[in-house]
Structure 1
């Protein structure tokens, strides 16, 4: 394997910025792609002392031609791309009936199609050499009320990633596609999401620092894990959806609905990043440092989740057989 050249979209802030730092510390040369040049330059300055090469490129991930041009510039400056991480996303929050069609379209294009275009661009180059790694994010491991558009986009990313893997396997390329399932992460996105609720947004469930998400992305890439779940909440949600979907829906309709909104009203003129970047000195962290968790939670890989699911199914089967035996003896 030659020198690792990593591309990170959404690299100016949040998970993308933390991922760029983590990959740079691992020795990768890093290309930072985003919409805000000043923030990208600031992110690149953070990497200056790590003895790696960087390149900064302004591009909108929802524009496939712009992503193609950016990838060409990356390879001209740094060499063949070996790792591509799709961190860019955009969201609009509120009840579906209140959301304008253009905002729904834009949020879906950035989050879902941005991932598709990034993956397509990376694969077009990686397949020439027969190796490489793409990491996609399921940044909303559990569906949330008021976030139906992002939930739909993330579900589409999951299905897209699952459909892509057999294609790569069929062609025999040594290209790895990983999916990282994330809980709530303390990033600036809660401050710049297009918000129709009238209340300030608040993460629900356990909240983790963006460096933890970046570490999970790094492990998924270099450990060649198919899926990585950060913490046990994603696995718990998967099991709840499998065995008790109605109960899960009821809990989401009450607890999760209120947990995402603060009591304070949202600022009427608060900027958001749906159609244009929010300018300012935003970095990886958001405004929830006081409640976010700094220690690494359990990372559940596909193998571990399969074992958990099998154990649950075996336990259920054992309980059923035991009940049948008792009925037979009665």
Structure 2
């Protein structure tokens, strides 16, 4: 990534914040797109301190023209964009029938159309050069909807279908531009403190929970190795996909029983902060981490296996050979 120009949306907090820190450590020039002034400023400082260059571009990703204007400024000020990473999102924690039409539309515009506009702008700029990489931060919820997150799950499902369609078009055109998706697990980010919540208790990620740096490393790795259609991160992502393929009806019933309680803390009330309409980090920096550091894993075996499929396959094959040999010798 050294010397490359990388755009990251949602760069002021959470996964986006961890991504720009990772890119800074690799010497990249990082263009940070988000809405929150304080969060963006702090993120840019961290990129510089890590060894890269961070430049701030305030924009609301739900507005195509704002994204377009920011991207054109980036190219004028830093040079051609090499990588575009879409991370920005917002949502509502609530039963579907308690989400107003305006809230649902806003969530969809930010979380789904924000990716569409970012991808469109990136392609428009990259196509004349016939090179570039686009990375979509996805979710296990792109495969499995869960209660209390209808708006978010719908957007993530849509991003998956959209990305697959664009990928096939690029392949059909013989394009030098590559697009990939990284399906992420539950993460310890400020999301649970600043997403609009109508729940009685504080929302929480469903365990196992991973630190945002796990996601950041996976997204940057995907940017460096974009040939695969998607990467999986976290045991929960793998279990979700397996459950959907083997027993989706059983998963439905399990989530109907446990999905609401598992997404709420026992005795903590919601913060009352909401970033759906206005940035939560305009005057306060939330950083990359949320409130669940003591319960979050710093590494993911699934992420390692996703990056090293060849080695994983060899290990499995070797294990199978060893088991067969042991059975033959009676050991």
2:85 corresponds to 1:85:
yes
Moved over 4 A (4+): 302-305
CA distance in 1, matches of 2:183, 2:145: 12
Task: Give 2:187's match in structure 1, choosing from 177, 185, 202.
Answer: 185
1:254 aligned partner: 257
Deviates more, 1:280-289 or 1:138-147: 138-147
TM-score, normalisation: structure 2: 0.88
Please, which runs of 5 or more residues in structure 2 have no aligned partner? 317-331
Task: Give 1:291's match in structure 2, choosing from 292, 295, 310.
Answer: 295
1:113 aligned partner: 113
Aligned-partner SS, 1:42: helix
Aligned-partner SS, 1:212: helix
Aligned-partner SS, 1:185: coil
C-alpha offsets along residues 122-141 of structure 1, whole Å, 9 cap, x if unaligned? 01011110010000121343
CA RMSD of aligned residues (A): 2.1
2:229 corresponds to 1:226:
yes
Shift of 1:81: 0.3
CA distance in 1, matches of 2:93, 2:290: 17
Shift of 1:51: 3.9
CA distance in 2, matches of 1:47, 1:137: 20
C-alpha offsets along residues 64-105 of structure 1, whole Å, 9 cap, x if unaligned? 000000001111111000100001000101111111110000
Shift of 1:222: 0.5
C-alpha offsets along residues 189-229 of structure 1, whole Å, 9 cap, x if unaligned? 10111111221101112100000000000111102232110
Alignment of 1:129-168 (within 5 A): 129-141=129-141, 142-168=144-170
1:10 aligned partner: 10
Report if the CA contact (8 A) 1:86-1:137 is conserved: yes
Aligned-partner SS, 2:301: coil
2:275 corresponds to 1:281:
no
Shift of 1:232: 3.0
